[in-house]
Amino acid sequence: MNALPSVGPGQTTIGGDTSIPRMISGLWQLAGGHYGKVDLDAAAHVMERLIDSGFNCFDMADHYADAELVVGRFHATSSRNLLAFTKWCPPANGIKSFEAAEKAVDLALRRMGQDQIMLMQYHVWDYSDDTYWHNLVHLQAIQKQGKIKHIGVTNVDAAHLELLIETGFNVATNQISCSVLDQRLVRGRLASVCEKHNVGVLAYGTLLGGFLSEKWLGLPEPEDMESLNWSLRKYLRFIRAAGGWGPFQGLLQALSTIALGHGVSIAAVATRYVLDIPTVRAVIVGCRLSIESPERSARNLEAFSFSLSEDDYTLIRKAQQALLDIPGDCGDEYRRRPYLTAAGDLSHHLTDHQGDRLREAIATGKRIEYSTGSPWEPIAGYCRAVRTGNYISISGTTAHSPRDTGIPVLGGSSARSQTVAILDIINQAVKALGGTLSDVVRTRVIVRDEVDCEEVSKAHGWVFQCEGIRPSNTLFVANLIGAEYRVEIEAEARLGFDEVVRFSP
């Protein structure tokens, strides 16, 4: 292996005006499940040493244990500057107030000892829960106060990133999993959406928690998941979803061949591969802020000391052919099965939509009506959805924005994005009555302008493809009430039919 490179991590720009390094130190390893309690003073001292090597940017979150406090300790003991990105990942508790958002931002500022958060990244647990619309509106207001420089998102798929942007939100970055094994960014629509709207991708999982290294080359698959730290547990699930240990070892061998040819590590090749994806602004590499971190980070700079040749890419593509695509779009691992997380389950994050009152009403055969609180519901004498037995009828639904957000219409003038928003609202109604979107058996789609039919159909098809079903459908052109609305959809759901059998001529 070559001596430690003297190159730096290079620079890029996010939000149009903020320069950041192309390699960021990620502090998830401080969150627990990795290496035990953090010594704040020692960790702050390691940050000082990392800055000497050009690593002056750190990524963390409100739930990464003491990560934000380490930044605060650094600021209290050093006059040097660093970039600190954090995340707000509120629990799915339905709290939508400005006070709650302001409290979360102020806590992060206080913990980090800063007057302004350079990048506040928001995580959405459930797109059918309209709480995230309220919270993003609040973050925009707090941004205008000067407490936040840029707003980003984490683990948002192409359709919902597009929806946010078409609605009018200025999204600087999207932090997602991306690696030589996880190709969802470039195989789906997300890369093109990010490129079109100048959203910088911050890629994590680039080294699969450490699996993309010489350490695992030729070794058998770990048998005891519980013996692994959180990172390795998470990315072993990714490896299994991509076809298993055999194809992964084939990929690892290809990376090893390339690494030997350039005199660098497997990790350097894997990192270089992701850095070369046009929409990727920076990679986030795990850092435990231990005494070994500066040397480890210096070795990470190998990724900036060479270029991959066309022959290298050919070898990688050949190894990738044995892999399966990771299911779904970026971020789906947090919202749909299989849950590719450290725990392999998100039940502790998901809301119980079927409370005791609903269960009792269902058990006693009551007619159940679900209302959203729209002022038109009592005037026109309707509700969003009605459940009788195992049957749910959902009223014609437009991309009407949640109350008190001030948003004119979800999805702006984009019929495609309005369709995504409408089906989220329908999903919310079905969940409120004890079902899921996979229970939908029929939709009726009304478009204002025939020119929108293809884009609306693509959005409709994507949503139900994610659910693994194909409801019966009617699509027609008609006038809609409200010039801002381009699409209206009504739906019917029937519960109790989980398995799908398909027939065709």
Q: CA–CA distance from 269 to each of 10, 286, 293, 313, 490 (Å)?
A: 17, 16, 20, 11, 50
Structure confidence at residue 344 (pLDDT)? 83
In which band, very low, low, confident or very high, does the pLDDT at 318 lie, cut at 50, 70 and 90? very high
Residue 1 has pLDDT above 50, yes or no: no
Q: How confident is the model at residue 406 (pLDDT cuts 50, 70, 90)?
A: very high
Q: Express each pLDDT in 296-315 by its tens digit.
A: 888 899 999 999 999 999 99
CB environment 151-188: b (16+ within 10 A), e (fewer): bbbbbbbbbbbbbbbbbebebbbbbbbbbbbbbbbeeb
Q: Considering only CA atoms, which of 104, 40, 116 is closest in space to residue 71?
A: 40
The tokens of 152 are what?
A: 């980003």
Same domain, 296 and 387: no
Mean pLDDT score, 223-242: 93
Q: How wide is the angle at C-alpha 43 spanned by C-alphas 42 and 48, nearest 5°?
A: 95
Judge if 74 and 193 occupy the same domain. Answer: yes
Average pLDDT (55-73) is 93
Q: What is the pLDDT of residues 272-297, one digit of tens each?
A: 999 999 999 999 999 888 888 888 88
Mean pLDDT of 352-367: 85
Asked if residue 423 is part of any domain, the answer here is yes
Q: Is residue 380 included in any domain, yes or no?
A: yes
Are 162 and 284 part of one and the same domain?
yes
Same domain, 299 and 375: no
Tell which of 248, 275, 306 closes a domain.
306
Section 355-365 average pLDDT: 91
Question: Residue 378 is part of which domain span?
Answer: 356-494
Neighbours of 16 (CB within 10 A): 10
Q: Supply the pLDDT for residue 355.
A: 81
Judge whether 328 lies within some domain.
no
How much is the pLDDT for 293? 85
| β 117-123/385-388 pair status | unpaired
Distance CA 247, CA 52 (A): 39
Same domain flag for 52 and 167: yes
**In this structure, is residue 246 part of a structural domain?**
no
Categorize the per-residue pLDDT at 351 as very low, low, confident or very high, splitting at 50, 70 and 90.
Answer: low
Residues 381 and 294 in one domain: no
CA-nearest of 410, 407, 418, 406 to 448 is 418
Query: Does residue 298 sit in the same domain as residue 400?
Result: no
Residue 461 falls within a domain, yes or no? yes
- Is residue 2 pLDDT above 70, yes or no? no
In one-letter notation, the amino acid at residue 95 is I
Condensed to tens digits (0 to 9), the pLDDT of residues 66-119 reads 999 999 999 999 989 999 999 999 998 899 999 999 999 999 999 999 999 999
Mean pLDDT of the chain: 93
Q: Is residue 344 part of a domain?
A: no
pLDDT of 347: 59
How confident is the model over 176-188, as a mean pLDDT?
Answer: 98
Q: What is the mean pLDDT of residues 462-471?
A: 96
Rounded Cα distance, 133 and 274, in Å: 31
DSSP state of 374: -
Q: Is 415 helix (H, G, I), strand (E, B) or coil?
A: helix
Side-chain-facing half-sphere of 267: CA atoms under 13 Å: 22
Distance CA 199, CA 16 (A): 10
Q: For the residues 230-245, what does the mean pLDDT come to?
A: 95
- Provide the total of helices (H) and of strands (E) in the chain, helices listed first: 16, 16
Over range 348-376, report the average pLDDT: 83
How far, in Å, CA of 220 to CA of 233, rounded?
15
Please check whether residues 364 and 275 belong to one and the same domain. no
**408 shares its domain with 299:** no
Residue 53 pLDDT: 83
Q: DSSP string spanning 167-224?
A: HT----EEEEE--SS--HHHHSSHHHHHHHHTPEEEEE-TTGGGTSSGGGTTPPPPS-
What pLDDT is stored for residue 369 in this prediction? 96
Domain harbouring 60, CATH code: 3.20.20.100
Residue 65 falls within a domain, yes or no? yes
Domain presence at residue 57: yes
Q: Say yes or no: 152 and 87 in one domain.
A: yes
pLDDT in tens, 426-450: 999 999 999 999 999 999 999 999 9
Give me the pLDDT at residue 52, please: 87
Positive or negative CA dihedral for 12, 13, 19, 21? negative
∠ at Cα 247 (244, 253), nearest 5°? 130
Task: Give the separation between CA 387 and CA 269, rounded to whole angstroms.
Answer: 55
| Residue 387 pLDDT > 70 | yes
Please tell me the distance from the alpha carbon of residue 252 to that of residue 70, in angstroms, as a whole number: 35
User: Model confidence at 33, in pLDDT bands (50, 70, 90)?
Assistant: low
Q: Which of 248, 282, 306 is the last residue of a domain?
A: 306
- Among the candidates 248, 276, 306, a domain finishes at 306
Residues 409 and 281 placed together within one structural domain of the fold: no
The CATH number of residue 363's host domain is: 3.30.1330.40
Q: Is the pLDDT of residue 354 over 90?
A: no
- The per-residue pLDDT for 84 is 96
270 & 370 share domain: no
pLDDT at 272: 98
How many domains does one find in the chain?
2
